Copies of this chain bind each other. A is one copy, B any other.
Amino acid sequence: MITFAAGPSKVYDALPTYLQDACNEGILSANHRSAKFMNLYQETEQLMREKLHMPEDYKLLFTSSATENWEIITQSIVEKASFHIYSGSFGKKWVTFASHINPATGALKIEANQTIDVPNLEIGEEFDVIGITQNETSNASQVRMEYLEEIREKFPEKLIAVDTTSSMAGIDLKFELADIWYASVQKCFGLPAGLGILILSPKAIEQTQRKGERGRYNSLNFILENAEGYQTHYTPNVLGIYLMNRVLQDIPEIQFIDERLRERMLKLETCIAHSKAFKMLVDNEQARSTTVMGVSGSEEMISAVKKEAEKHGMQLGSGYGPLKPTSFRIANFPAITDAEMDKLIGFLSEY
């Protein structure tokens, strides 16, 4: 069964080999305060620069999950309040977690089909961090880099935090355009779940230090102090970090992955555009995700196509939340091979 679920999703085909190597290399018992681990961490950070173009002066940190990152940002970085622009369930959850810690948190909800109207966007002095869900897994929408660039130009004094849970390692992110980036490994990294990634710019680190929040197990200053020596604030998922290292070693540079995903998404879009039974959840091309395709249809058709796909050895991702009965989602993640995606497109073109 090939899974097209949007995460946990299909892992890279080389995972069994990586796991075997991990056993042989003693990774399963590796001490997280040892030189072996510190080298692994340092090398992984360097690979993030080489393969994903993370800037030299940005810092890679490990957390338990993207969910935890929501909380860390408000707890340890935000000084006044964060202002969020979102269209879907995960963006909304981020606002909820942030508001719990800081009731002054602000938000602007847009539609999945809408792009951010930056020229008319007003974010006052009372907000020092702008939160953007770059790729909204729930409704398959996306904020393109050009909007981030406009926001960066319009609000140069504010920190920008970007949720790329389901796009990092899939599309070519311009890290310079924001200060805080986070993701999970079970999406575009093609890895098993159990590890969160948090990336900070020098400006974000500076603000964290100035705020000086500490004392919690996930206080960012504590995480950063440990990371200074390539260690972590708790006994981490060492195996997960090793697997991430191996994936980063083996993947091509991100611009090639990005190009491949865009080509495939175009084929998938064309297929859905020609379908009588289905239409795309996001019909505005400018707002449509590159890594997750949302497809809507009648309840009967959605239920039927999911069953039929399973008969053909393919598992479609369910719609999320309120969209569950009337949509399905397809992960266009790099670990899915072109042949697998072609098979799916062939299948869907019958509808």
The interface of chain A, by Cβ under 8 A from chain B, is: 1, 3, 5, 7-11, 15-16, 19-20, 22-23, 26-32, 64-68, 70-71, 97, 100-101, 184, 186, 191-195, 215-218, 233-240
Instruction: Given the known inter-chain contacts A97-B217, A235-B67, A236-B193, please indicate yes or no for A16 contacting B20, CB distance below 8 A.
Output: yes
Query: Which residues of B lie under 8 Å from residue A218 when comparing CB positions?
Result: 68
Which 3 pairs, one residue from A and one from B, show the smallest C-beta to C-beta distance?
A194-B237, A100-B215, A64-B64
Query: Which residues of B lie under 8 Å from residue A15 when comparing CB positions?
Result: 23, 28
> Which chain B residue lies CB-closest to A99?
B215
A67→B28 contact, CB < 8 A:
no
A238→B29 contact, CB < 8 A:
no
Partner of A193, one of B11, B66, B68, B237: B237
A192→B67 contact, CB < 8 A:
no
Instruction: Given the known inter-chain contacts A233-B67, A234-B67, A235-B186, please indicate yes or no for A29 contacting B16, CB distance below 8 A.
Output: no
A194→B240 contact, CB < 8 A:
yes
Partner of A70, one of B8, B28, B217: B217
Shortest C-beta distance, A130 to chain B (Å), equals: 21
Shortest C-beta distance, A236 to chain B (Å), equals: 6
B100→A216 contact, CB < 8 A:
yes
Residue in A19, A191, A217, A236 with the greatest tally of chain B CB atoms within 10 Å: A217
Label chain A's interface by main secondary structure.
loop
Query: Which residues of B lie under 8 Å from residue A234 when comparing CB positions?
Result: 64-65, 67-68
B238→A194 contact, CB < 8 A:
yes
Instruction: Given the known inter-chain contacts A11-B29, A31-B5, A64-B64, please indicate yes or no for A194 contacting B239, CB distance below 8 A.
Output: yes
B194→A236 contact, CB < 8 A:
yes
Shortest C-beta distance, A196 to chain B (Å), equals: 8
A332 and B315 CA atoms in complex are apart in Å by 45
B9→A217 contact, CB < 8 A:
no
Query: Which residues of B lie under 8 Å from residue A27 when comparing CB positions?
Result: 192
Partner of A194, one of B5, B19, B31, B194: B194
B23→A8 contact, CB < 8 A:
no
> Which chain B residue lies CB-closest to A16?
B23
A20 and B17 CA atoms in complex are apart in Å by 9
Partner of A8, one of B8, B191, B233, B235: B235
A5 and B28 CA atoms in complex are apart in Å by 13
A23→B19 contact, CB < 8 A:
yes
Query: Which residues of B lie under 8 Å from residue A65 when comparing CB positions?
Result: 217, 234-236
A8 and B28 CA atoms in complex are apart in Å by 8
Query: Which residues of B lie under 8 Å from residue A70 when comparing CB positions?
Result: 217
Q: Could you give 10 example pairs across A and B, Cβ below 8 Å?
A: A1-B26, A3-B26, A3-B29, A7-B235, A19-B19, A20-B20, A65-B234, A66-B235, A193-B235, A194-B240
Partner of A68, one of B23, B217, B240: B217
Instruction: Given the known inter-chain contacts A70-B217, A193-B237, A193-B238, please indicate yes or no for A8 contacting B31, CB distance below 8 A.
Output: yes
> Which chain B residue lies CB-closest to A100?
B215
Instruction: Given the known inter-chain contacts A234-B67, A238-B192, please indicate yes or no for A10 contacting B29, CB distance below 8 A.
Output: yes
A194 and B237 CA atoms in complex are apart in Å by 4
> Which chain B residue lies CB-closest to A242?
B192
B8→A238 contact, CB < 8 A:
yes
A331 and B166 CA atoms in complex are apart in Å by 40
